[in-house]
Chains A and B, each alone.
Chain A
Amino acid sequence: MKISKAAAAAAVAVALSLTATACGGSKQDAASDGGASGGAKDKIVVGIKYDQPGLGLKTPDGKYTGFDVDVATYVAKELGYEPNQIEFKQAVSAERENLIANGDVKFVVATYSINDKRKEKVDFAGPYFLAHQDLLVRADDTSITKAEDLNKKKLCSVTGSTSAQNVKTKLAPEADLLEQGGYSECLTGLENKAVDALTTDNSILAGYAAQEKNKGKFKLVGLSLSNENYGIGLKKGDKELQTKINAALKKMVEDGSWQKAVDKNLGPANFKSEPAPQITEGS
């Protein structure tokens, strides 16, 4: 009796450890498939922003909304992944290159402007959106119509962002520039009249202006202070994926989903977006 009990216990232990290792093994396989080859239709990890309303936003109930999210979902679908097979991962600006290079994400759709320095480390597909640096002002403010007007104004942008640097070096070096940690802080200042304008890409501004709580309070000035071509970042040298994503983007524009996504996410701010840009990367 005693012996059989011990044997049973041992058998259970062996069985448990076996299933445990089997579990670990299969999990690892799934992870490497999703991250590397894309051959197995298991899961795809996509990098997006979590904090930009209208573009990439994680809502308190854990859903993802925004134009970038819609583009990512469409592209993933063209690559053969259903929406429930997509796993979104936060890609803050400074970490995008590393996430891609390390293979933590398959691709990144996160207001990612294509430029030469970034191309040293990653490749791009697209562009899928052409944004311009623009200004957001209070809805009743008519004193700012061109970039030079800023030299006597108080301006807000996010610490270290390209837009803030543009203002300091090119657009309006004499403007009184306040750099805040996030755009929400800037909006508070704009509402309190502590600053006169908020500057960054018009797509991001439109996203904030289109938020339910901000409706009617702010307006876009409609300047084109710079050209930002948003691309989809992917691993350097992955020509196959690049071609596939480019094809998906082309299809998205042709079948009207692209325009629909723009209207849905950025439309409420009376934002006139540029037409979909020509795809230039990888051709």
Chain B
Amino acid sequence: MFDFLDSGQYDVLGAFWVTVQLTLYSAAGSLIWGTALAGMRVSPVPLLRGFGTAYVNLVRNTPLTLLVIGCSLGLSQTLKINLGGDSFKEIGFRLAVLGLIAYTGTFVCEALRSGINTVPVGQAEAARALGLSFFQVLTLIVLPQAFRAVIAPLANVLIALTKNTTVAATIGVAEAALLMKEMLENEAQAVFAVFAVFALGFVLLTLPTGLLLGWVAKRVAVKR
């Protein structure tokens, strides 16, 4: 039943490696971008607050497929903005990471903002009373506590991100979902076996992530 795996025709591990790479790059990027967005949303500057709110509400409610295809059709093919990539393989990967960061960043931002709400107001007030600037209050006092509170929600965002990388297949990034399409085209007699292989692959990627970060969340949580 699974003999198509032995033919040597398909590099399943290689495809999942691309999935992992997509996930890691996008996770790092969206953590940074999401934190910046969260900073904007709680900042005292109305313009930044407005931009943060507008961006999050707009991008979060746009389907990811639309964002990723928009990156490919709009940025790359029409405006010829290729993010420094030479071949479609590179360009596609970078565009996909860009799309995933733009999208996932909003969820990181919202998770983080809920974390900021768990930090007692007294903490920020005390910090301000010591003469710290807004930036110092945020980075030294509030965010470190906020992050420790939202490890578990962020784990969910990461798991969702892992699964969302499959959207990159629509612009030709050779990750797991693209290989699955190829295999379904060739091995249609074993549709369910092919499906099972990829379903299992994603479970193997996401389940440990959830367990590990769940454990971390328990360890670092601030007991209040």
> Which residues on A are within 8 Å of B, measured CB to CB?
93-98, 117-118, 120-121, 154, 159-162, 164-165, 176-181, 185, 188-189, 192, 194-195
Contacts and interface: CB of A to CB of B under 8 A. Distances in A.
B191 to A, nearest CB: 6
B172 A159 contact: yes
A98 B182 CA distance: 17
B209 interface: no
A97 B191 CA distance: 9
Contacts of A97: 188-189, 191
B123 interface: no
A160 B178 contact: yes
Nearest to B194: A94
A95 B181 CA distance: 12
Contacts of A159: 169-170, 172, 178, 181-182
Interface centre among A93, A94, A164 (most CB of B within 10 A): A94
Contact of A94 (B72, B78, B80, B188): B188
B136 interface: no
Given A97-B189, A154-B88, A160 B73 contact: no
Contacts of B179: 160
Contacts of A177: 88, 172
Interface centre among A159, A164, A177, A188 (most CB of B within 10 A): A159
Interface string B170-192: 11101000111111111111010
Given A159-B169, A160-B182, A194-B80, A181 B69 contact: yes
24 contacts: A93-B185, A93-B188, A94-B185, A94-B191, A96-B188, A97-B189, A121-B189, A154-B88, A159-B172, A159-B178, A160-B178, A160-B180, A160-B184, A160-B185, A161-B185, A164-B182, A178-B92, A179-B171, A179-B174, A179-B178, A181-B170, A185-B72, A189-B77, A194-B76
**Most chain B Cβ neighbours within 10 Å, of A95, A160, A164, A176:** A160
Contacts of A160: 178-185
A185 B69 contact: yes
Contacts of A181: 69, 170-171
